[in-house]
Structure 1
């Protein structure tokens, strides 16, 4: 009985402290990257915006001169949220030892969602000779979307999305595989 007790205690201690060698982390890197690719898009950053502007309109006589008493205008507020990120469906990854090489397409604007609780006409100066039409408001909205995306790109939103994507992917690999791994990125041209 004493021998059985010693063997039982010794076996329990052995199995509690036994640490088999780790599997190949190259396979683990592929599995980690596969999880990112399944998401299809990696949203890196978002930005709220608000555009308030006056949009005047006046009828003209064959574009030669403005017709008197035909001026109208709209004060319009357009607010929303832009999200920029990376298309993960076209991403590629290779690993050699502790180096992981990731190839991604350039970031792009994933969505531009208006905030309809804030968006709308603030003031309308209508004219019976030149009424404001629904098409005029639609054109103003299209212009606001264009301006918001242009301003975001000029303000560095896509560059910020690039840095955030690199940071997110690096953090994921390092937390899953360990700090000894080095992740480098190559970005494909937008064309």
Structure 2
């Protein structure tokens, strides 16, 4: 049986300098962290809130270039006929051909934001005015899934050609836009443009904003 001599623990402590130094370093690091946490001032995180001005909102609006405000579907069903002519003067009745055609599409109208102008009342900063050109047809897209020949009467002496159908389609496009112009489609476009712009400005600046939309003549 081995007998442990008195004072051997103290000898072991001083004969193991690496363990002593490691413990001292760890203790120093822990003490530094505790003191730093207790006595360092707490920094408040400041969130910067962007302040929007009416002119900034206007710049963001016109960056869209154009604003689609109304959409309308249409369907035109009509008959196209063609008769060969002698010397381009006399119709040859036995050469007549015809076809019934249905042409469907969608017209979208809106306003040009690139030419828009903005002003702010000098006496009341909440009174704003946006001036726009008159609305116009932005796109007229055919629906070829619904369009096509319904019935045709061909003629061997004057057969129906692809160019005849293409010419009729162009007539349908012109007719659809003329009918839109003659109706109240552009009135609806103006009303929607005004409502959309007011919603944009109020959403960005608050309900206290009074926006007036003016359309240029012609």
Find out whether 1:157 has 2:182 as its counterpart: no
Aligned to 1:181: 209
Aligned to 1:12: none
Q: Which ranges in structure 2 are unaligned for 5 or more consecutive residues? A: 1-43, 45-49
Residue 104 of structure 1: which of 126, 129, 132 is its match? 132
Aligned to 1:68: 93
Which of structure 1's runs of 4+ aligned residues deviate more than 6 A? Answer: none
The answer to which structure, 1 or 2, has the higher relative contact order (CA under 8 A, 6+ apart) is 1
Larger Rg: 2
Post-superposition offset of 1:69? 1.5
SS in 1 for 2:137: strand
The count of residues paired between Structure 1 and Structure 2 equals 173
Residue 35 of structure 1: which of 60, 69, 73 is its match? 60
Residue 49 of structure 1: which of 71, 74, 78 is its match? 74
TM-score by length of 1: 0.82
Per-residue Cα deviation, 1:36-69 (whole angstroms, up to 9, x for no partner)? 2111110000000000111111123345543131
Find out whether 1:122 has 2:147 as its counterpart: no
Aligned to 2:176: 148
Query: Which deviates further from its counterpart, 63-72 or 95-104?
Result: 63-72
Post-superposition offset of 1:119? 1.2
CA RMSD of aligned residues (A): 2.6
Aligned to 1:88: 113
Residue 104 of structure 2: which of 70, 73, 79 is its match? 79
Q: Which ranges in structure 1 are unaligned for 5 or more consecutive residues? A: 1-14, 16-21
Query: Which deviates further from its counterpart, 58-67 or 37-46?
Result: 58-67
Post-superposition offset of 1:152? 0.9
Post-superposition offset of 1:170? 0.8
Quote the Cα distance in structure 2 between the aligned partners of 1:32 and 1:68: 66
Per-residue Cα deviation, 1:91-130 (whole angstroms, up to 9, x for no partner)? 1112231110101111000000000111111112110111
Higher strand share: 1
TM-score by length of 2: 0.72
Post-superposition offset of 1:31? 2.0
SS in 1 for 2:211: strand
